[in-house]
Structure 1
Amino acid sequence: MKWRLTGRFLLSVVLIVSLVVFFNILLIVGVFIVQSASGGAAFHGEETSAEAVTKRFQEQIVTSNQQVMITEKGKEELIKNKAWIQVLDADGKVIYGYRTPEGVKEKYTPLDIVQMYKYNEIDHYTTVYISEKKVNNEYYSYFMGFENPYIQRKVLSYDIRDLVKLFNVGSILILVIDGLIALFIGYLFSKRLTQPLILLIDGIKRLANKDYQMNFAPKGIYKDVFYNINYLSDELIANERERKKLDTMKEEWVGNISHDIKTPLASIQGYAEMMKDAEYQFSLEEMREYAEIIERKSLYLKEVIEDLNLSTRLKNNKLTLNKKRINIVTLLRNIVIDTLNDASYANRNIEFQFSDDIIKLDVDELLVRRAISNLIYNAIVHNDEAVVIKVSVEKSQPTVIRVEDTGKGIKKEDLERIFDRYYRGTNTGELHKGSGLGMAIAHDIILAHGGEIHVNSRIGEGTKIEIVLDSLV
C-alpha cells in the first residue's frame, strides 16, 4: 500500500508540473499569435518572410545600358510570391515596374513614400515593403507589393518602461495562475487522500467504543486497510460472541460448583451440629458412621479445590513437571485396577489392552494418572452401567493411548467444547458432580507434556479419545 500512496503522490506532482508547463506553453503561443496578428512576421523565418524577400530582392535589380531592370530569376520570384515591384530614382520617379497594378503612382514625394510604407495605400489585400539598391554610386529605392491577405504589418511604438512594467505584471500573473492550478490539483488529490482517512478514523473510533458492526467497501489506495478493518471487525464480533458465551458458561459453572460444594458442606455442618448437641446420645457405631460421611464429603471438597488450583496453574503455565521415565503400561493398569476397586464403579466393565509389556515414557506420573483417570471417569458418568470402556496403549513412534467406550456418544455441539473450562455436557449423569474441569485438566496436562489429544464420537456408537506422546526407547 505504501508504494501506491507514494505513486499517487508522485503522479499528482507530475500532473501539477505538466499542467503548469502546458499552461505556460499555451500562454507563450498566445503571445506569439498576438504578435503575429500585430506584427505580421512572427512565424516567418528570416529567409522566407515578405520583408526578408524584399531586402534580398536587391540582388535581382541590375542595370544595362544605363537602364534599371530585374533579372529573369527576379521575375520568377515575383510571380511565385504574387508580388509586384516599382523602382524609384533619387527624385521619387518610377523608372521601372513589373506586374504593377493599376492606379499606383508614377512619382512619389517623401511623404508619399512614408504613407505607402506605413499604411495600406493600394488595397486591403496588398502589403507594401520598401528597400534600396546602390548601383554605380547611385541609390535607387524600390517598392514591393505582396498580394496576400494573410500578410499584415503594423507599426508598433512602445515605451521600454511600459514593457518592463508589463513583464513584471505578466510574471506575477503567471505565477498566480500557476499557483492556483497547483492548489486546485493539490486540493483534488488531498480530498481523495483524506476522505478515506476520515472513514478509517471514524471506523477506529467505533471499534474503540465497542461498535463492531461495520463493513467498508475495500477500494481505492486504502483498500487493504479497509479489508483489514472489516476483518478485525468480524474477529471482534466473533470474540465478543465467544466472550459472552464464556461468561454465560462461567456463571453456570459457578452456580453448579456452588451447589456441588454447598451439598457436602451442608452434610458436614449437619452431622457436626448433631454430634455436638448434648441432647443426642450417639453410639460409637453411629459416631463412626457420621465421621465417615464427614470424611468422604471433606475429601470431595478437597478434590474440587485441587482441581481449581491445578486448572489455574496449568492455564497460566506455572506448573513444573516432575518428569521421570516410567513404564506407561504399568501406570495404565494400576489406574484401571484402582477405578474398579472403587465401590462406586465396581460393577463397570473396563478393559485394558497393550501391545508390549514395557513401553517407556518420560512423563510426570501423578499428572498423567490424573489425566487418564479423568478421561475414564468421564466415560463412566456419561454412560450407563452396561457400557464397555476400553483403555489401550500401543507402542509406536509416537506412543498412542486410547480411552474408548460404546456409550451414547457426544453431540457435535458438545464435542467442539468438551475440553473447554467450565463446560459440562448436556447429557451429564447423576454421578457427575465436582468442579467440571476434569476434561480441561486432562487436555492441559497432555499439552504440557508436548503431546496431542483428539476426540472422535458418534451419537449412539460411542466415543474414542486418543492421546499421542513421544516414546523413549
Structure 2
Amino acid sequence: MNINYRMMFQFLTQFILNFIATFLIVVLLIILAMHLITKDELKSNPQKAIVENLPYSSYIGGDGQVELNDSWKSTLSEHQMWVQIIDGTGEVIYAFNTPDHFQRIYTMNDLLAIEKTNQLGNYTVDTYFETGKPQPYYYLFGYIDKQQQLLTDWYDSYSDAGIVRNDRKEDLEKEVSKHEGMLEIYQDGKLVEKIGENLPTPTKMLDVVGSIHVPGNYETKAYVVNDNTANSAWVYHELNDAFKSPSIRFFSNRELQTFALVLLISMVILVVLSIWNGYRYGKPLLLFMNWLKIVEQKQYEDVLSGKEHQKIYKKNGKVKFRYRLYKEVFETFSNMSEKLSLAEQERKQLERTREEWMAGISHDLRTPLSSIQGYGHLLESGQYDYTREELQQIGQVIRDKSDYMVDLVNDFSLIFQLKNSAIAIQKERIDMNAFIHDLVVKYQDDFTLNSHLISFERSDERCEVEIDPKWFIRVLDNLLSNAMKHNPPRTKVHVKVVCKQHTTMIMIMDNGKGMDETFVDHLFTRYYRGTSTDERTEGEGLGMSIAYAIVKLHGGSIEVQSEVGKGTTVVIKL
C-alpha cells in the first residue's frame, strides 16, 4: 500500500474511530443526563419522576414478560408506590407492590373512571400510555397522598358550602397548627380566610399551580380541594423539604451540570486528540527537519543511522507503528541520502581524476615540448655548426615530437566525443578470424617488436560480427601495444577468437608481470597510472579509456583479469 492510500486509510480510520468515540460519549452523556434529571426529579417530585421515567427503564418481551430494574423496585417501595402494566385486553401483565385485593383485569369503564378521577379506591393514580413498544401498554402508578387525604378529610369535616363552620373553626385551627401548615380558603376566586402558620406562600396565581407540579422550586408545597358547586377552593401549604434557593438551583441545575460535563469531557477529548496527533504527526516532522539539517551539512551517512535508525525501526528491521504512516518517506530519505553520499564521493573522485588528468596532460605535453624547446635553443644560439645530417636528425626529432603532440590532442578530442556519443560508427559485417589474423601478422612482421612472442588462435567456427573496422582496429592496437610496451622482453602474447552461439569473444593473454587489483579496478579511468612514478610512459593515460569507450559504443563489454607475476588476460565480448 503506497503512502497515498495509507494516508487516506489512516485519516478514514481516525474519522471512524472519532465518530464511534463521539457517539459513545454522547450516548453515555445522554444516559448520565437522564440519570441526573431523574435523580433531581425524584428529590423534588418523586411521584412525577417515577411516572415519567420508569416506563423507559422497563422491558416488555414479545411473550408479554416484563423485566424491571431492581433500583426502580427499591424506589417504588421507598415512596410507597405500586405499579400495574395493562395490555390491550385489559389484563394486568405485571404488578409490583400492589395490594392483594387489587383486580387483575380492568374493563373499559374502569379505565375511563381512573383516567377521569385519578383515583382507585383510596389511592391517587397517575397513568402513562406507552406507544413505543410493538403494542400499546397502559401503566397505573398508585400511591396514598396522606396530605391530600388529610385536606380532603378536613374539607368534609369542617366545611359548610365551602366555608369553615363556625362551631368547628377552633378544632380546624388546632389541626392545622398541629401539622405546622397553613390553610387558605378561596370563595369566588377571592381569599376569604387564612388559618395556621404564616408561611411564605406563592403570590402569583401560576405559582400555586407550580408549587403543585414542581414543588422543588418553591418553599411550600400546596394541596388543593376544589368544590365547583360552592365555587370554593381550600389550599393547604406546608414547608417543602426538597426546596432549593435560586442560587443553589443555578449551580445544581441539571441542564447546567450536563452542559458543564459535556464541555469538560469535550475539552479533555480535544486535548488528548491534540497531544496524540501532535505526537503522531509532529514527531516525524521534527525528524525530517533534523535530517534536512544533516543533509545541509553534507553528513549524509548520519541520516537514518545509529540513534536515528533505532528511533524508527524495530530490531527485526520493521518500522515502528507510530512511524508506519511515513514508511515510504523514510525509505525515500534513506535512498536520497545514499545517492547524495555516492554523488559526493563521485564528486571527490572526479576532483581527484581532474587533478590526475591535469598532471597526466602536463607530463605528456611537457616531455615533447622540452625536446622541441631544447633543440630550438641550440639552433637559436648559433654556437655550433651543424652538418646536414645533424640538422636532418634535429628536424626529425622536432617533427616526431610535434606529431606526437598532435596525436595527443586528437586523443583528447576523441575522448570527449566518445563521452558525449558524438562519434558516428559505420558498421560492416566482418570475419573476425581474418580481421584479427591480419592485425597479428602485422605485429609479427614488425622487427622492432621481435623481443616479444606473439601468436594467434582462430575460432573453429566462422565468426562474422558487425563492427566499424576503422575504430575497432584502434581498440586492438591499444591492447596489443600495452601488452608489449608494459611487459619485459620474451613475454608471450597470445590472441584468441572464440565464437559461442551469438557471442564472440576476443582474448588477449600474456604471461608478463601482471597488475594488482587496485590497478585493474582503475585501468579504464582516464589518466590513472597507478602508484609507480618511475615507470611513466608517454600517452599511456588515454589508451585504455578510449578502447573501453569504443567497445561500449559497439554494444560490447571489456573485462580484465590480472595477477601480479602471472600475467594479464583482456576479454572483449561482442
TM-score between the two structures when normalised by the length of structure 2: 0.60
Question: Are the structure 2 counterparts of residues 113 and 379 from structure 1 closer, same or farther at C-alpha, using a change threshold of 3 Å?
Answer: farther
Which segment drifts farther, 5-14 or 395-404?
A: 5-14
Structure-1 separation of matches of 2:366 and 2:145: 133
User: Does structure 2 conserve the Cα–Cα contact (< 8 Å) formed by 1:419 and 1:439?
Assistant: yes
Alignment counterpart, residue 446 of structure 1, candidates 546, 551, 555: 551
In structure 2, the residue matched to 1:192 is 280
Instruction: Tell me the SS of whatever aligns to 2:515.
Output: coil
Alignment counterpart, residue 55 of structure 2, candidates 45, 56, 65: 45
Alignment counterpart, residue 270 of structure 2, candidates 172, 176, 182: 182
Question: Are the structure 2 counterparts of residues 11 and 69 from structure 1 closer, same or farther at C-alpha, using a change threshold of 3 Å?
Answer: closer
Structure-1 separation of matches of 2:443 and 2:401: 19
Which segment drifts farther, 443-452 or 303-312?
A: 303-312
Displacement, 1:281? 2.1
Displacement, 1:4? 3.3
In structure 2, the residue matched to 1:287 is 391
Equivalent residue letter for 2:503: P
Displacement, 1:88? 7.2
Alignment counterpart, residue 31 of structure 2, candidates 24, 29, 32: 29
In structure 2, the residue matched to 1:201 is 289
Structure-1 separation of matches of 2:83 and 2:338: 86
In structure 1, the residue matched to 2:486 is 382
Displacement, 1:85? 11
In structure 1, the residue matched to 2:418 is 314
Displacement, 1:438? 1.1
Which segment drifts farther, 363-372 or 395-404?
A: 395-404
Equivalent residue letter for 1:25: V
Matching of residue 346 in structure 1 with residue 425 in structure 2: no
User: Does structure 1 conserve the Cα–Cα contact (< 8 Å) formed by 2:558 and 2:572?
Assistant: yes
User: Does structure 1 conserve the Cα–Cα contact (< 8 Å) formed by 2:408 and 2:539?
Assistant: yes
In structure 2, the residue matched to 1:271 is 375
Equivalent residue letter for 1:256: G
Question: Are the structure 2 counterparts of residues 112 and 336 from structure 1 closer, same or farther at C-alpha, using a change threshold of 3 Å?
Answer: farther
Question: Are the structure 2 counterparts of residues 327 and 192 from structure 1 closer, same or farther at C-alpha, using a change threshold of 3 Å?
Answer: same
Structure-2 separation of matches of 1:58 and 1:231: 86
Q: Deviations over 1:128-177 (max 9, x none)?
A: xx9xxxxxxxxxxxxxxxxxxxxxx968999xxx99x9859965874675
Displacement, 1:417? 1.9
Question: Are the structure 2 counterparts of residues 342 and 351 from structure 1 closer, same or farther at C-alpha, using a change threshold of 3 Å?
Answer: same
Equivalent residue letter for 1:44: L
Displacement, 1:226? 2.4
Equivalent residue letter for 2:55: G
Which segment drifts farther, 282-291 or 235-244?
A: 235-244
Q: Deviations over 1:291-311 (max 9, x none)?
A: 221122122212221221111
Displacement, 1:435? 5.2
User: Does structure 1 conserve the Cα–Cα contact (< 8 Å) formed by 2:514 and 2:564?
Assistant: yes
In structure 1, the residue matched to 2:496 is 392
Instruction: Tell me the SS of whatever aligns to 2:524.
Output: coil
Structure-2 separation of matches of 1:388 and 1:427: 24
Question: Are the structure 2 counterparts of residues 25 and 113 from structure 1 closer, same or farther at C-alpha, using a change threshold of 3 Å?
Answer: farther
Question: Are the structure 2 counterparts of residues 426 and 383 from structure 1 closer, same or farther at C-alpha, using a change threshold of 3 Å?
Answer: farther
Q: Equivalent residues in 2 for 1:108-147 (5 A)?
A: none
Which segment drifts farther, 420-429 or 286-295?
A: 420-429
Structure-2 separation of matches of 1:453 and 1:464: 11
TM-score between the two structures when normalised by the length of structure 1: 0.72
Structure-2 separation of matches of 1:244 and 1:31: 74
Alignment counterpart, residue 12 of structure 1, candidates 7, 11, 14: 14
Structure-1 separation of matches of 2:508 and 2:499: 15
Equivalent residue letter for 1:320: A
Matching of residue 368 in structure 1 with residue 472 in structure 2: yes
Structure-1 separation of matches of 2:531 and 2:445: 29
- Number of residue-to-residue matches in the alignment: 413
User: Does structure 1 conserve the Cα–Cα contact (< 8 Å) formed by 2:430 and 2:466?
Assistant: yes
Equivalent residue letter for 1:10: L
Equivalent residue letter for 1:461: K
CA RMSD of aligned residues (A): 4.7
Question: Are the structure 2 counterparts of residues 256 and 422 from structure 1 closer, same or farther at C-alpha, using a change threshold of 3 Å?
Answer: closer
Structure-1 separation of matches of 2:570 and 2:4: 50
Structure-1 separation of matches of 2:101 and 2:178: 25
User: Does structure 2 conserve the Cα–Cα contact (< 8 Å) formed by 1:391 and 1:404?
Assistant: yes
Displacement, 1:439? 1.1
Instruction: Tell me the SS of whatever aligns to 2:54.
Output: coil
Q: Deviations over 1:223-257 (max 9, x none)?
A: 43224323432343343234323422331332133
Structure-1 separation of matches of 2:426 and 2:407: 20
Unmatched 5+ stretches in structure 1:
63-67, 71-80, 94-108, 119-129, 131-152
User: Does structure 2 conserve the Cα–Cα contact (< 8 Å) formed by 1:264 and 1:297?
Assistant: yes
Q: Deviations over 1:399-431 (max 9, x none)?
A: 111111112222112222222222123468847
Unmatched 5+ stretches in structure 2:
59-67, 85-97, 104-119, 123-140, 156-174, 182-210, 212-222, 224-240, 313-319
Structure-1 separation of matches of 2:532 and 2:439: 25
Displacement, 1:445? 0.6
Displacement, 1:447? 0.8
Question: Are the structure 2 counterparts of residues 157 and 248 from structure 1 closer, same or farther at C-alpha, using a change threshold of 3 Å?
Answer: closer
Equivalent residue letter for 1:34: L
